[in-house]
Amino acid sequence: MSKKVYIFLADGFEDIEGLTVVDLMRRAGITITTVSIKNTKQITTAHGITMLTDTTFCEADFSDADMLVLPGGQPGTTYLGGFEPLTDLVKSFYNNGGKIAAICAAPTVFAEIGLLHGKKATAYPACMDGLGDAVKSEEKVVIDGNITTSRGLGTAIDFSLSLISQLLGQEKADQIAESVVYK
């Protein structure tokens, strides 16, 4: 049975951080759905690329999710963190044992909603203070229980492969890495 992942996009999300996750997960056979937090599927990335998501937040049903992912970038992260239906979903999903992941500035959203208290986490260097009372790390990817965090654009492949490994196993992640000439 295919794993199901939802990645939440807002205007100003970091192109590479969002789309690398989508690309590599799809290569791995994971069903990943891009979700706009706006009332329209049209999103403009941090670098001015206009794209269409698979669905909007209001149209989606997240009951089949195996993982929820937040990409970084600005002002995308600010919009994600300010969208209460999403932060409520993330809190509820995590509190019910679901896996959540964020990269770059987006781990600060997890801190703002109280999920990083005492957890090991990382973020973009300029955003580390936004992790609150998390145990801060400078590793490329940090996994603490069901929370995965990563540093930024330069760690997007490592982040994506870690998520694939968590969902489908290290062998599958290694196959994807080899198929894209990463390792």
Q: Which residues are catalytic?
A: 104
Tell me the C-alpha to C-alpha distance, in Å, between residue 162 and each of 35, 44, 176: 21, 27, 11
Burial of 3 (0-12, 13-18, 19+ CB in 10 A): buried
User: What are 86's strand-pairing partners?
Assistant: none
CA distance readout (Å), 59 to 19, 21, 34, 62, 87: 21, 22, 12, 10, 17
